[in-house]
Structure 1
Amino acid sequence: MQVSDLLVASLEREGVEHVFGLPGEELEDLLFSLRESTVTFVPVRHEQGAAFMADVHGRLTGDAGVCLSTLGPGATNLLTGVADAHLDKSPLVAITGQGGLERLHQESHQAIDVLQTFASVTKWNTQLDSSEIVHESVRKAFKVAEHEKPGATHMELPEDVAGGQTETEPMAAGERIPIGAPAPDSLDRAETLLAESERPILLVGNGVVRTDASEQLREFVDATDAPVVSTYMGKGAVSDDDDRSLMTLDSGSNGEPARAIEAADLVLTLGYDIAEHDPGDWYPGTTPLVHVDSEPAEVYEAYGPDVEIVADVGETLGHLTDWCRAGHPSFERDWYDDLREQIVADVDDEPVGEPPFTVRSVLPVLRSEMASEDVLVSDVGSHKMAIAQNFPTYEPNTCIVSNGFASMGIAVPGGLAADLAVDSNVVAACGDGGFMMNAAEIETATRFGCEYTILLFVDDDYGLISQQQQAHTGESFGTELTNPEFQTLAESFGIEGYRPESATEIRDALRDAIDGGLSLVEIPVA
């Protein structure tokens, strides 16, 4: 078969349903191979959007999302979304086209060293410089991308290799390699610290959601009544309806969750990725610390665990739960109740009056109009901080927040990927800054019949940067924006546009939008 056919057949063996990308001259053979396959090619409007789609697909499904670009500017446009997946620990396989091998030794049109460019944002990347390595490379790309901790991989396909012939067959997809069981001595040391504590607290990260350990976590919480603070990407691992949930870690050292950690006499971090939150902002430094994750803790002056359990997080929690149920610990049960009450009171404030509203006041209305299994994809900006801290989340993987690389522009393309990946309703929340970066993907969404809600918070400003400048200097510079008429923009794409002018209209607009097709709800905020 043709080598491009082999690559696509290998994607089929991996169970790939969608490839998100932009066509290019060097991709001609691969595109026509995709046309004849069971894989749906989703042509997008910008390569960054394609990578964000693959990123969110990987977050929601655990299966590597696939994105595609041509060489040169196509590959560099793809880079941001690939980096986002890499630092957010989302499985992603990127494929880039390249010119023929005969011209890569010299300066030539659009040719750069893409492998070198992608090296720092991938777990593994390679050039498919021979037809004989394609089947093995595809298998390795998926195996490495999906293995805990997941991330991005990359393959470069020169056009002369793609058009060549091969007798090689695709490899069968392999089973995921399980993470090992906890070491008995590490468990014993963790149990000793638990036995000596009265006020343990759990800091729950992305690793719990990513490894499907939420059920074991909830059983451990039931056995101990220990309070839970989540990172942004750990939201939903324990339901925020649970009285033991203290919602989400603040971005700094202020707020009730941070005060609870300071008052605790033992901290257990579960699936905590240090790229999310600087431990210097939340860890007191003297409290005994147990690190439970699939990899050893990062070497960090502000984060020195007393015990490291490098193992499957769910299995480790199962062992600790059994030990607790055997009657070993005796913990205080109500030391964090006042903090929980303050958090709930803050979260329940609803909007009043007329615009401009605040993001925080809109979130209770949004929460009430979304089912527990519906998915919220948050862009990056000041609204992300509000969503992370004030949007109660009840199930794992239902609030998608980018907090490793934290790149703006993910929500609109991410909403498209989420709509293709799940049966639930999807809301993509973004500010006007992030929205305009990839608003063109609305056309892609309409072309593929997607139905999700774009919730657009408008303040005509890069609000988060402006807030930080104001806090530091009392003024801001370089952050102000002007915007199009967003309802008209929505209608130009053939979708419904809403601009509620009162608290009642916000609820009505969100209810209509979430229950309807692809739509945009614009809310002015201050």
Structure 2
Amino acid sequence: MKASDLLVRSLEAEGVEHVFGVPGEELEDLMFSLRDSDITFIPTRHEQGAAFMANVHGRLTGNAGVCLGTLGPGATNLITGIADAQLDKSPVVAITGQGSRERLHKESHQALDIVNIFDPVVKWNTQITEAEVVPESVRKAFKLSELEKPGATHLEFPEDVATESYDSRPLPTRPRVRRPDPDMKSVRRAVELLKRSDSPMILAGNGAVRTRAAERLRALVQQTGMPVVATYMGKGAVSDRINCSLMTLDSGANDEASDAMSKADCVVSIGYDIAEHDPKSWNPDLDKRIIHIDSEPAEVYRHYNPDVELVADISATLRSLMAEIDGPLGPTWCKDYREPIMVDAYGLPDSDEPFSVKKTLPYLREAMGDHDILISDVGSHKMDIAQYFPTYEPGTCIISNGLASMGIAVPGGVAADMAVDANVVAATGDGGFMMNAAEIETAKRLGLGFTILLFNDNDYGLISKKQIESTSESFGTRLTNPDFKTLAESFGINGYRPESWDELEDLLKSVVPSDEMDLVEVPLPT
């Protein structure tokens, strides 16, 4: 068969149902091979949007999302979303077109060395140099992308290779490689360290959610009574309803969670990547004993130098710890911190209070079910969502905090609404929204129905805030925006701009469970 057909057959063998992307001339053969397959190609309005869609698909399902771009600018437009997937540990396979090999040794129209450009931001990538290597290349791309810790891989597909014929078939998939059980000697060292601690605390990271270890983690918390804080990407690993939860590292109006963390003498980090949250903030004096539980050894860093490293399957490690622990471990030392955190998170605004992200969140939480999905863009609103939005189930609050790239919310909403049977809310600021607002057309074309919650302060608000904190003034952050309600309606979706808290509360209760596309603008003080 033709190499482009073989590549698509190989994608089908991997279970791929959707490919997000922007077509190009050099992808012509691949495009028609996709047309004749069981895979749905979804044209997006920008390659970055396609990469973010693949990214969120991978993060929610655990199966690699696939995005597609042509050579040159098509490929470079993918890079931000690909890098975001890499640092957020989301499985993604990117495919890019390329010109014919006979012109790549010289300067040529749109030709760039994309493989070397991608190399620093992916786990693995290669150019498919001949039809014969298609099955192995595709299988390796998916295997490595989905292998813990997951990330991005990339395949470059020159247009002349796409037309070659080769008598082959896809490689069969195999069960994913499982990490081994932990070393029991290290498990017992960890347990002894915990028993000697007066104020132990669990730090739940991205890996606790990503590896589906939440159920086992919740059982450990119930058995030991240890308090838990989460990173932004670990939200939901432990339900914020339980008394042991102190939400995230920065939660509380007076930084109660951070204060509690400062008093912990032993930290059990579970699936924690230091790219999520700098350990210097919670271990500034290098005085905490640390137990590292993850699928890979800890990064070497002065402020994160574990006493014990349990490098194994996370769920298996937690099961082994539970078998060796014979009772509670300091369940009462942290109890006074939870109440003010919860009061702060659930506090409602006064009727004459101006709109704010923080005081919107209780109404949003009330409108959403436990298993509904909130996707946060990056900006000042992300900080409030991370700190004050109670999360009850793993994978239901999607925050990018590795690369932390703006623009993920709207395309992420597209992918989430396709991937899960739940209501989806994409929360964004005006800055991040305008970066990929065009993907509303993609959502409308696909017949999707989710809610865009847009906080508008006509500013790059987080940067402005940081500048003011540092210098008492800001520069280069102010923006002007279109009429967002009218913009939404021009896409053929519902647009709303509430004027009171009561109106906003009623509106969220109405639109979040609806099957329509809705945009709700919350105007913030400027």
Kindly indicate whether the alpha-carbon contact (under 8 Å) linking 1:71 and 1:97 is maintained by their aligned counterparts in 2.
yes
Q: For residue 332 of structure 1, report the CA deviation from its aligned partner.
A: 3.0
Q: For residue 334 of structure 1, report the CA deviation from its aligned partner.
A: 2.0
Aligned to 1:435: 433
Q: Secondary structure at the match of 1:134?
A: helix
C-alpha distance in 2 between matches for 1:379 and 1:197: 38
C-alpha distance in 1 between matches for 2:328 and 2:42: 55
Aligned to 2:298: 297
1:239-258 to 2 correspondence within 5 Å? 239-250=239-250, 255-258=255-258
C-alpha distance in 2 between matches for 1:282 and 1:375: 29
Aligned to 1:28: 28
1:344-493 to 2 correspondence within 5 Å? 344-353=342-351, 356-493=354-491
C-alpha distance in 1 between matches for 2:267 and 2:500: 44
Aligned to 1:177: 177
Which range is displaced more, 366-375 or 515-524?
515-524
Q: 1:275 to 1:507 in 2, by over 3 A?
A: same
In structure 2, the gaps of 5 or more residues are none
Please state if 1:58 is matched with 2:54. Answer: no
1:10-21 to 2 correspondence within 5 Å? 10-21=10-21
Aligned to 1:102: 102
Q: Secondary structure at the match of 1:9?
A: helix
1:96-175 to 2 correspondence within 5 Å? 96-175=96-175
Aligned to 2:87: 87
Kindly indicate whether the alpha-carbon contact (under 8 Å) linking 2:293 and 2:311 is maintained by their aligned counterparts in 1.
yes
Question: Structure 2 counterpart of 1:521, which letter?
Answer: V
Kindly indicate whether the alpha-carbon contact (under 8 Å) linking 1:6 and 1:170 is maintained by their aligned counterparts in 2.
yes
1:242-294 Cα shifts (integer Å, max 9, x gaps): 11000011299971122112212211000001111111011242121111100
C-alpha distance in 1 between matches for 2:511 and 2:162: 44
C-alpha distance in 2 between matches for 1:286 and 1:170: 53
TM-score norm. by structure 1 comes to 0.98
Question: Structure 2 counterpart of 1:518, which letter?
Answer: M
Kindly indicate whether the alpha-carbon contact (under 8 Å) linking 2:377 and 2:432 is maintained by their aligned counterparts in 1.
yes
Question: Structure 2 counterpart of 1:429, which letter?
Answer: A
1:84-128 Cα shifts (integer Å, max 9, x gaps): 000000000000000000000000000011011100110000000
Q: For residue 512 of structure 1, report the CA deviation from its aligned partner.
A: 1.7
Kindly indicate whether the alpha-carbon contact (under 8 Å) linking 1:52 and 1:413 is maintained by their aligned counterparts in 2.
yes
Q: 1:252 to 1:5 in 2, by over 3 A?
A: farther
Which range is displaced more, 314-323 or 102-111?
314-323
Aligned to 1:519: 518
Kindly indicate whether the alpha-carbon contact (under 8 Å) linking 1:252 and 1:282 is maintained by their aligned counterparts in 2.
no
Q: 1:376 to 1:511 in 2, by over 3 A?
A: same
Q: Secondary structure at the match of 2:467?
A: helix
Q: For residue 330 of structure 1, report the CA deviation from its aligned partner.
A: 4.9
1:166-191 Cα shifts (integer Å, max 9, x gaps): 11111111211001110112111101
Kindly indicate whether the alpha-carbon contact (under 8 Å) linking 1:2 and 1:163 is maintained by their aligned counterparts in 2.
yes
C-alpha distance in 2 between matches for 1:285 and 1:391: 30
Q: For residue 382 of structure 1, report the CA deviation from its aligned partner.
A: 0.2
Question: Structure 2 counterpart of 1:467, which letter?
Answer: K
Q: For residue 45 of structure 1, report the CA deviation from its aligned partner.
A: 0.2
Q: Secondary structure at the match of 2:512?
A: helix
Q: 1:69 to 1:7 in 2, by over 3 A?
A: same
C-alpha distance in 2 between matches for 1:500 and 1:104: 55
TM-score norm. by structure 2 comes to 0.98
Kindly indicate whether the alpha-carbon contact (under 8 Å) linking 1:292 and 1:313 is maintained by their aligned counterparts in 2.
yes
Question: Structure 2 counterpart of 1:523, which letter?
Answer: V
Aligned to 2:332: 334
1:55-100 Cα shifts (integer Å, max 9, x gaps): 0000000000000000000001000000000000000000000000
Kindly indicate whether the alpha-carbon contact (under 8 Å) linking 2:486 and 2:495 is maintained by their aligned counterparts in 1.
yes
Kindly indicate whether the alpha-carbon contact (under 8 Å) linking 1:453 and 1:520 is maintained by their aligned counterparts in 2.
yes
C-alpha distance in 2 between matches for 1:275 and 1:333: 29
Question: Structure 2 counterpart of 1:501, which letter?
Answer: E
Please state if 1:214 is matched with 2:214. Answer: yes
Which range is displaced more, 386-395 or 512-521?
512-521
Q: 1:167 to 1:156 in 2, by over 3 A?
A: same
Kindly indicate whether the alpha-carbon contact (under 8 Å) linking 1:251 and 1:277 is maintained by their aligned counterparts in 2.
no
C-alpha distance in 2 between matches for 1:354 and 1:106: 66
C-alpha distance in 2 between matches for 1:193 and 1:254: 30
In structure 1, the gaps of 5 or more residues are none
Kindly indicate whether the alpha-carbon contact (under 8 Å) linking 1:55 and 1:90 is maintained by their aligned counterparts in 2.
yes
Please state if 1:7 is matched with 2:38. Answer: no
Query: Aligned residues: percent identity?
Result: 62
Kindly indicate whether the alpha-carbon contact (under 8 Å) linking 2:251 and 2:388 is maintained by their aligned counterparts in 1.
no
Q: Secondary structure at the match of 1:376?
A: strand
Kindly indicate whether the alpha-carbon contact (under 8 Å) linking 1:355 and 1:525 is maintained by their aligned counterparts in 2.
no
Kindly indicate whether the alpha-carbon contact (under 8 Å) linking 1:355 and 1:502 is maintained by their aligned counterparts in 2.
no
Q: For residue 424 of structure 1, report the CA deviation from its aligned partner.
A: 0.3
Q: Secondary structure at the match of 1:515?
A: coil
C-alpha distance in 2 between matches for 1:172 and 1:136: 10
C-alpha distance in 2 between matches for 1:386 and 1:493: 29
C-alpha distance in 2 between matches for 1:451 and 1:123: 34
C-alpha distance in 2 between matches for 1:437 and 1:355: 30
Which range is displaced more, 397-406 or 356-365?
356-365
Question: Structure 1 counterpart of 2:450, which letter?
Answer: Y
Q: Secondary structure at the match of 1:27?
A: helix
Question: Structure 1 counterpart of 2:511, which letter?
Answer: A
Question: Structure 2 counterpart of 1:300, which letter?
Answer: Y
Aligned to 1:510: 508
Q: 1:251 to 1:129 in 2, by over 3 A?
A: farther
1:360-408 Cα shifts (integer Å, max 9, x gaps): 0000000000000000000000000000010000000000000000000
C-alpha distance in 2 between matches for 1:235 and 1:515: 22
Question: Structure 1 counterpart of 2:334, which letter?
Answer: Y
Q: 1:318 to 1:253 in 2, by over 3 A?
A: farther
Q: 1:369 to 1:118 in 2, by over 3 A?
A: same
Kindly indicate whether the alpha-carbon contact (under 8 Å) linking 2:253 and 2:344 is maintained by their aligned counterparts in 1.
no
Q: For residue 354 of structure 1, report the CA deviation from its aligned partner.
A: 5.1
C-alpha distance in 1 between matches for 2:502 and 2:403: 36
Runs of 4+ displaced beyond 4 Å: 251-254
Q: 1:254 to 1:447 in 2, by over 3 A?
A: same
1:155-211 Cα shifts (integer Å, max 9, x gaps): 000000011111111111121100111011211110110121232100000001011
